[in-house]
Amino acid sequence: MAERPPDRDQVIKDFASYVSPGKVAVYQALGTTIVPGRREGVRVWDLDGTRSWIECRSAGGVFNLGHRPPRVIAAVRQALDSLDIGDHVLMSQHRAALAKRLAQLTPGDITYTVFGVSGGEAVDLAIKLARGYSRKPGIISLEGGYHGCTGFALAATTEFGDKFAPLAPGFSKVPFGNIEALAATIDEDTAAVIMETIPATAGMLVPPPDYFPRVRELCDETGVLLIIDEVQAGLARTGRLWAIDEWGVVPDIMVLGKGMSGAIYPISATCFRPHLQAFFDSDPFIHISTYGGADLGCVACLAMLDQITEPGFLEHVQEMGDRFADGFDRLQEKHPAIFTGVRQRGLMIGLEMASDACGPLMTRAMGEHGVIAIFSHLRPSSLQIMPPLIIEADEVDEVLDALDASLGEVARTLGLS
């Protein structure tokens, strides 16, 4: 007798009753009441298996290798025969192997890594390290930046902390891309500057060509540490292993997360240059994370790194990015009244539209046309396109077709056609 499929409506009801009625209300308002069932590669299917969508959100980079990546699953499945999470207080062969690999791959002389579970936890540690090493309290972040919902990370983030005031003191914010504002804000109490390489929540902003080199120079001149958050932009998302490589800058601390997991086991990393290790020398156990750098997570991450560093992987990301870019040119010509611009590095893409009303409407329309894509929280006029890095040409074309249809529908709805 065939197994009865889950009742989708009951799942939605239970989610509203026991998880979050507010989220269900938002999903319904946006027309995105998707309850994932089967998921594989670039696609997810609804619970009853009757509809599928191409994933163009990727949970901010979690699904860089798509859903259920075979190589990562195989590595973790094999490891389950002999491993568990490990004891975070003891040494670990797998943690050592992953940290060594990251030292080989990260920019410049970044050498050491402390592991966590989430990006927010990794950002918290980066800020703790900057303050502990410098003995200064000041942290400067960017307006529109997003670094997580934990303590110090939330204080460095725009908007989300308003309901939790008072937040941790010592934080200030400056406009993205404005080196003069940054220089004017740095003072004798500043420990560090923290920035996303490409701020996604703000709309996939791309800095002026000389911005990061000038930030690095300014930090060197003032003795301030530079923290680069590559939780979303790193791990091949932009067609480079690290987005910051485009600007030839080596940060003092680099924060990684999301794609580190291979979409299978949560893990994050705070990587830093050798001189900062002096802070931990006096008390090696001053920061601990029970599940940070779990042995199984390290196995998953190493399998992910093996795949994205293979010959041809970055070239594929660049080729698919170019295919998208060519399609965007055609769509802008066809829909000039609504589709007003593109900000893109590889497969990290923000589509700018005519007004803030466009983002929510495009999110709904794209879902109706078989693509999961959402607008940027702090810039509703921008639609985020972040497909898995394994996307193929025919799947890119499907997304472009969905964009074509959705732009036309939303333009007519808003009287822009």
Least confident of 160-174, 296-310, 335-349: 160-174
Mean pLDDT score across all residues of the chain: 96
Least confident of 109-113, 122-126, 163-167, 396-400: 163-167
pLDDT of res. 165:
85
Q: Average pLDDT, stretch 315-333? A: 98
Cα-only R_g, the chain: 22
pLDDT of res. 3:
67
pLDDT of res. 199:
96
Inter-residue contact 158 to 194 (CB < 8 Å): no
Q: Average pLDDT, stretch 84-91? A: 96
Asked if the model's pLDDT at residue 1 lies above 60, the reply is no
For residue range 200-221, list pLDDT tens digits in order: 999 999 999 999 999 999 999 9
pLDDT of res. 2:
58
Residue 146: both structure tokens together? 């997003």
Residue 145: both structure tokens together? 């930046």
Inter-residue contact 75 to 302 (CB < 8 Å): yes
The closest alpha carbon to 391, from 349, 333, 335, belongs to 349
Q: Rounded CA gap, 162 and 131, in Å?
A: 23
Is the previous residue joined to 70 through a cis bond, with omega within 30 degrees of 0? no
Asked if the model's pLDDT at residue 268 lies above 60, the reply is yes
End-to-end Cα spacing for the chain: 53
Secondary structure of 306-344 as H, E, C letters: HHHCCCCHHHHHHHHHHHHHHHHHHHHHHCCCCEEEEEE
Helix-then-strand count for the chain, H and E: 13, 15
Domain 8-61+314-413 homologous superfamily, CATH: Aspartate Aminotransferase, domain 1 (3.90.1150.10)
Q: Average pLDDT, stretch 365-372? A: 97
Q: What is the CB neighbour count within 10 angstroms for residue 382?
A: 28
Inter-residue contact 161 to 306 (CB < 8 Å): no
pLDDT of res. 31:
84
CA angle 254, 213, 182 (to 5 degrees): 85
Residues in the chain: 417
pLDDT category, 417, cuts 50, 70, 90? confident
**Domain limits of the chain?**
8-61+314-413, 70-308
For residue range 289-311, list pLDDT tens digits in order: 999 999 999 999 999 999 999 99
| Whole-number percent of the chain with pLDDT over 70 | 99
For residue range 371-387, list pLDDT tens digits in order: 999 999 999 999 999 99
**SS3 at position 363:** helix
What would you measure as the largest C-alpha separation in the chain, in angstroms? 73
Under CATH, which number does the domain 70-308 receive?
Answer: 3.40.640.10
Alpha helices of 151-285 — where are they, by DSSP H? 151-155, 179-185, 211-222, 278-281
Q: Average pLDDT, stretch 110-134? A: 98
Looking at residue 140, the DSSP 8-state letter turns out to be: E
CA angle 11, 14, 20 (to 5 degrees): 115
| Whole-number percent of the chain with pLDDT over 90 | 93
**SS3 at position 364:** helix
Positive or negative torsion for Cα 123, 126, 130, 132:
positive
Residue 228 has φ and ψ, to the nearest 5°, of -110, 125
